[in-house]
Amino acid sequence: MGLLIGEVAKRVELELPVRIRQSSLTDARCLYHYQQHHIKGIRKGDSEASVRGTHFHAAAKEYVDHLVETGQFTHYAKAEEIAKAYPDCQSLINLWCERSIFYPERIYATEFNILLDWDYRPVPPDTPIKYSPYSGTLDRVEMIGEVADIYDYKTNRAVFDVETIQTFYYPWLLSKVFPHLREINFHLDFVRFGVIRDRSFSKDELEISVQPQIEGWESYLLEAIENNHFPAMGGHSTCNYCQLQCPLVDAGLDGKAIVQVKKYDDAKDMAEIAFTMKKRAATMMQALKHFASKEDTPIELTEEVLDFHLVEKWKYDRAALMKLNEQYGLNPLNGLAPSKQALMKTFRRYPEFERDLQEVSENRSHSEFEFKKKPPKEEK
């Protein structure tokens, strides 16, 4: 990877066009959508659902702030007054306020905006994007002692699983502002249904498991920006509300294959096609590997070059890793997270660490062909 995590000076040299926040991470599931929306600023207008969500959040902030100022648990008359200003979601605002009870002494902030620098330290609101890459706005934060609760309002017409990007991102952001917190609870509040989905994080989990995920997202976005490579990637929920002219559709891919599947029959048909394609692709890749191993030549396509390289790979011993961590004065759990970002940072900081770990893991090494894609050489 051209841009290494931890090289703060080099990262600052890159002009970051947009902060890494929940909305950009969600849109980055399709890098083309991310580029058009967040870098080029191309928008096709907000959908009705998006506008309705914005109005609800504004009303919720006004209502909760009023309760905090007046020290009340509820105030239905005020709720009705606020709701009248937003006809598109008036009934939804009234419904949510009627079944919600708030404790003013617990509420720390509404629409709480957080900015972090490259080293994950809080910075002032006016800090330039170049020096404050991380940001997030938390709908409501409640706090008692060393425990905090984050509430994220959802006006969706369906209840979904709590494992969203903001589920991990928002607690991590808050933990950097308040390092004393030992527990942070995240709540998805589906205001239309009165349903709340919860996920709790300990301080150690945020540091050991969640932060490597954040670093992986950072690498993913920065590499795309640095290489100016933003391919369209369909097949996820972002496609449901995207109003851009999709390159995948322009290339002839059926639009039904781009959007999220909603009917069982469609899912079954698509699964049959995908499974067949997967088996064929696996067979083709084996044939290409065989050809590459004999001819030692890349395969040039219109937009890519397919190349194979014989690489040496090894699996490290987890027990040995923990012992090495202790010898180097590091956290014993360093490098055990699935993303391995922390381990890569350790290798860059202590080159001899990687050598020592390989020595105790030699019996686990093996050779295999690794498939790589790279852009074709430009003709001179």
Residue 230 has pLDDT above 50, yes or no: yes
- Per the structure block, which two tokens stand in for 102? 């708030």
Q: How far is CA 59 from the centre of its chain?
A: 27
Average pLDDT, the chain: 78
Considering only 82-96, 120-134, 216-230, which range has the smallest mean pLDDT?
Answer: 216-230
- Of 126, 155, 124, the closest CA to residue 139 belongs to 155
- Contact present, 63 and 83 (Cβ < 8 Å): no
Residue 196: its H or E element: strand 195-202
**CATH classification of 8-45+103-226, choosing from 3.40.50, 3.90.320, 2.40.128, 3.30.450?**
3.90.320
DSSP 122: B
Q: Residue with structure tokens 């509430």? A: 151
- Contact present, 257 and 236 (Cβ < 8 Å): no
In the chain, beta strands by DSSP E = 107-116, 134-144, 147-154, 183-190, 195-202, 299-300, 305-314, 365-374
What does the pLDDT read at residue 1?
22
- Of 165, 161, 171, the closest CA to residue 112 belongs to 171
Give me the residue spans of the domains in the chain: 8-45+103-226, 259-287, 288-374
Residue 296 falls in which region: left (phi positive, over 0), alpha (psi -120 to 50) or beta: left
Phi, psi of 18 (to 5 degrees): -155, 145
pLDDT tens-digit series, residues 31-48: 888 888 777 877 665 678
What does the pLDDT read at residue 238?
63
Q: What is the rounded distance in angstroms from the CA atom of residue 181 to the CA atom of residue 203?
A: 7
pLDDT (mean) for 146-164: 91
Q: Which of 37-41, 257-261, 365-369 is most confident?
A: 37-41
- Per the structure block, which two tokens stand in for 304? 């890519």
What does the pLDDT read at residue 360?
72
Residue 72 has pLDDT above 70, yes or no: yes
pLDDT tens-digit series, residues 117-154: 878 899 998 888 777 888 899 999 999 999 999 999 99
